[in-house]
Every structure is written in C-alpha cells, then in structure tokens.
Amino acid sequence: MRNMRGLPLVVLFGAVQVYAQNLSFVTCPIVRDTKTIPCWLAEYKGETYYLGNQGGVAQDFYPPQLNHEVLVEGIVAQGARVCGGIPLRPVKTSVFLEINRACNTILPAEDEIEAPQSPPRPQTGDAVSWVRSDGPGDNTLYFDFDNDFLSIHAATAIQRIAQYFQQSKASEIQVAASRGSSRLSNGSVLIEDPKTVTARAAKVRDILTGLGVSPTAVKVKLNVDVREPDGLNDPWSRKVTLSVK
C-alpha cells in the first residue's frame, strides 16, 4: 500500500482487536426514539449494539434504513452503553438494496435512555472518515457494500482532485476501483457484484469530466478480482482511489 497515511488506520483497526472484538453481521436495524434525536441500534446474538445517531448528510455516519437489512462491520468499544447498546467504534453500515419488510422495529423513548450529543469516538485516534486524503492529488473513497452512492464528503473530494489536476497542469488522473468482500462473524463471506465496481468508477469519471477534466485524462482501472476477506479490514477494501499524475 503506497498511502502511508492509510496504514495507521488499518493498523488501528487491527490493533483495537487486541483489546476488543470485531463484529460483522447482517441484521435488521432498529431505531430507538429518545427525548431528542433517534439512535440506531442492531442486535447480534442476543446483544444490542449502538451504531450511531440520526444526523444530516454532513456527518460520516449515514444511518440504516428500516425495510432493509444492513451489514454491520465494527469494533466493540469499551465503556458505558450508549442509547441502550454497546457502541461499535468505528463502525460501517451498508444498507442492502432489496426490501425486507420484516425490518420494521421502532422502539419508543425511555426516560433513562438518551442519545449522546455526539457519537463516541473510537478508543484510539480520530473519528473515522470514509474519505482519506494522502495529499492534494491522492484521495481514496470508501463505499458501502455493493453500493456506488457518493456521500457529499466523497463528491467534494473528487471536486478537490479535479481542481488540483487543473491547477497543477498534470497529465492524467488515475481512477482505480476495487471490489470488496466481507467476512462475517459467523464465518460466511459476502462478495461484491463486479458491476458495482464498474458503476463506482463510472460515477467518479463522470464527475471528473463534468467538472471539466478532459475524458482522455481520466484513466480508469477496474480491479474485480475477489480479495480474501479477513473480517477486520473489509470496509477498507471497497474503494476508489484517485491519483493525479
């Protein structure tokens, strides 16, 4: 991996495992009302986990969706329960596209359960962002499983890359899209549809060219090989890397 700034994230993700358990599972999400904003929870093997709060599009945590199952990938954090659940930090939630109407649990507010003002941070290091910058000409965007949605953070990162390309008079932007996989805690493995990889790269390319980058300057590379998931670093495998050359 050439992105040195990326390594601590991966190591951090792994290092936390020494003290805490990593979990990956597919479940119906649960929304818990509170006196203020709702919290998002998930149950796994009889335990309730806290995923995050309802927020806006500017936050890194995009809440799950009732009527859909969700893939939860996270680290069991130490400390008190949050909103009635054990916090997972960091955590990545991926909403499955198909509808499951069994996923419809809304819990009412309870006097003793409150949503945190701001979600707890990971035990070590900064809050995780799903956009990583390794310099003005190198950004990596991480995606939800089997999803090509670009958050406003990701879209803005692409805009910055386009601006840097235009200012630096560089000759090309490499767009490398990778296919992800995820090993669940029950041992089963999820592998992304290769079409998702193509769709992600196409979206990124379309934005770059729409922002004025010459189509001939955008070099797309698709990596649809199936990687071996490890149940730990899997959220970082679903990515598009942009490099200005």
Contacts to other proteins by CB under 8 A: 31, 33, 37-38, 40, 54-57, 62-68, 97-99, 106, 149-152, 154-156, 159, 195, 203, 206-207, 210-211
Which residue, 151 or 237, has its beta carbon nearer to other proteins?
151
CB of 66 to other proteins, least distance (A): 5
Which residue, 151 or 182, has its beta carbon nearer to other proteins?
151
DSSP string, 90-154: EEEEEE-SS--TT--EEEPP-TT----SSPPPPSSSSPP-SEEESSTTEEEEE--TT-----HHH
CB of 93 to other proteins, least distance (A): 10
Which residue, 75 or 157, has its beta carbon nearer to other proteins?
157
CB of 152 to other proteins, least distance (A): 5
The angle formed by the CA atoms of residues 152, 90 and 144, to the nearest 5 degrees, is 45
Please count the residues of the chain: 245
Which residue, 145 or 229, has its beta carbon nearer to other proteins?
145
| 119 CA to centre of own chain | 16
